[in-house]
Structures are given as structure tokens and as C-alpha cells.
């Protein structure tokens, strides 16, 4: 499936069940290996990826919800599923069909393009795979409110990526200032600016200039713009 097909991100895989292992052990299941490149023979595939049948997942599309200290009702736990309300009855019915009547844990992955390995496992980190459902709609749709947003977004992305590559020269402050005074992305909705800054802060400030993750996150957050890696690499040039 096309990674830039927005419809794939309108579906959500859901897992529900009981898990009372230590927090470290529970989260280890989802831990991606950033110590080596993805195609390195030493790359370690995480437990979640092994069970699903993939080598990597996008952390921006997964919801690893904090577990409850004890099991609660389905009506309670399923409110954290990010499943569209119109599909909630089907989600609950499928849980009951699979024998899940209460739970303390839930996680989801919003990428309908991911096809789980067959046969379905009896447990994924102790939880049952419930199925694929309609996801909650995104809270905003920037392209509905902005004229020629595609070009404006590209301009903002250019400034954003360049500032990222200038991190050693206070690139983060330059990015903040540029968005504040509208010298880049003048017509962008504030939600778009906020998302770009969150991505910058998480993967540049938080993860030490992790440029590949920034590019992946930008493409994942705005798939409707069909920004291929060549376009991003073309604008992400260090400034002299």
C-alpha cells in the first residue's frame, strides 16, 4: 500500500487484554533499535514488530496507553482506543467474542496498510488482537482552510529542515522565531506550525539531531501532501 495514501491512516489496529508485568518489561516489547541503521545485520527487531511481521513501525502512529493497576470494564478501557465512535460497538462486540470482558491494558497502531502475520497470535505482549477498525478523524484539516497550502507548506518545510540542520547554530531558536514572525509559513494554520515544532523538539532536541526520524515524522503527519523523500532531501540542505 502506498505509504502516502491518507486512507491507510484512517484505520486502526487494536489490542486489548491484561498485562501485569513490570513497566520496563512491558515497554521493552515496543522498543525500536536506534543503535544501528535499519538495514544493518545487527539491527534488532522489537517484540511488537516480530509478532506483527514487520521490521520497523512508526512511533507517531502507535498508542501505548498507560496500564491500569487493575482490570476495568470494557466500556472504561475502550474509551482510550482512538476508534471512531460509530465503530465502537463493533469493537466491544469483537472483544466479547474473543473472550475479553475486562482489561487493564490497551494499545493501538493507526496504519491500516500494515497486514499482520498469519496466523494471528494468541497474545501480543499478553494482549489479544481485536481487529482493524475505523479511526477517529483528525481534529484539523489544514488544507480546507488555507489557499495554496501545498506551496506554503513546502516553504515552511524548507525553512524547518534547514533550521534543523543548523542546530549547532541555534537552529531551534531560529525555527521558533521564523514561525513566530511568519517569515516562513505565513499562511499556515497554527496547528501545522505546532506539529512541525513538536516534531523538531522530539527528534532533534530530544534524540540528538535524528534527521531520518524527523523526515519520517513529517511525512507521516502530513501524508496528504505526498512529500516524497527526494523532495525533503532536496530542501534539507545545510545553510552556509
Nearest CA to 156 among 181, 180, 179?
Answer: 179
Q: Does residue 151 come out as left (phi exceeding 0), alpha (psi in the -120 to 50 range) or beta?
A: alpha
Of 78-82, 145-149, 190-194, give the lowest mean pLDDT range.
Answer: 145-149
Q: What is the pLDDT of residue 36?
A: 86
Pick the residue with more confidence: 72 or 218?
Answer: 72
| Residue 16: strand pairing partners | 106, 128
User: Helix, strand, or coil here: 129?
Assistant: strand
Residue 17 lies in a domain: yes
Residue 180 lies in a domain: yes
Number of domains in the chain: 2
Residue 240 lies in a domain: no
Range of the domain at 165: 142-235
pTM, to two decimals: 0.57
The predicted model gives 114-121 an average pLDDT of: 90
My answer on whether 124 and 186 are in the same domain is no
Share of the chain above pLDDT 90, in %: 38
> What's the whole-number average pLDDT of the chain?
73
Of 134, 154, 187, the residue at which a domain comes to its end is 134
User: Does the structure show a pLDDT above 90 at 70?
Assistant: yes
My answer on whether 17 and 34 are in the same domain is yes
My answer on whether 42 and 129 are in the same domain is yes
My answer on whether 125 and 160 are in the same domain is no
Amino acid at each position: 500500500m502506498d505509504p502516502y495514501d491518507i486512507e491507510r491512516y484512517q484505520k486502526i489496529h487494536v489490542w486489548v487484554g491484561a498485562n501485569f508485568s513490570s513497566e520496563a518489561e512491558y515497554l521493552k516489547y515496543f522498543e525500536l533499535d536506534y543503535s544501528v541503521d535499519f538495514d544493518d545485520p545487527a539491527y534488532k527487531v522489537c517484540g511488537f514488530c516480530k509478532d506483527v511481521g514487520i521490521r520497523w513501525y512508526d512511533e507517531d502512529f502507535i498508542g501505548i496507553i498507560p496500564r491500569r493497576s487493575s482490570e476495568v470494564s470494557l466500556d472504561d478501557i475502550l474509551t482510550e482506543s482512538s476508534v471512531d465512535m460509530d465503530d465502537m460497538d463493533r469493537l466491544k462486540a469483537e472483544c466479547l467474542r474473543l473472550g475479553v470482558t475486562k482489561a487493564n491494558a490497551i494499545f493501538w497502531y493507526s496504519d491500516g496498510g500494515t497486514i499482520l502475520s498469519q496466523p494471528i497470535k494468541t497474545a501480543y505482549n499478553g494482549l489479544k488482537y481485536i481487529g482493524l477498525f475505523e479511526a477517529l478523524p483528525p481534529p484539523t484539516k489544514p488544507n480546507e482552510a488555507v489557499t495554496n497550502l501545498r506551496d506554503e507548506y513546502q516553504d515552511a518545510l524548507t525553512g524547518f529542515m534547514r533550521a534543523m540542520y543548523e542546530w549547532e547554530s541555534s537552529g531551534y531558536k531560529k525555527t521558533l522565531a521564523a514561525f513566530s514572525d511568519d517569515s516562513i509559513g505565513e499562511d499556515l494554520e497554527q496547528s501545522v506550525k505546532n506539529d512541525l515544532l513538536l516534531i523538531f523538539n522530539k527528534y532533534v532536541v530530544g534524540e540528538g539531531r535524528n534527521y531520518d526520524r524527523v523526515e519520517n515524522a513529517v511525512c507521516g503527519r502530513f501524508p496528504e501532501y505526498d512529500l516524497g523523500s527526494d523532495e525533503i532531501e532536496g530542501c534539507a540542505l545545510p545553510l552556509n
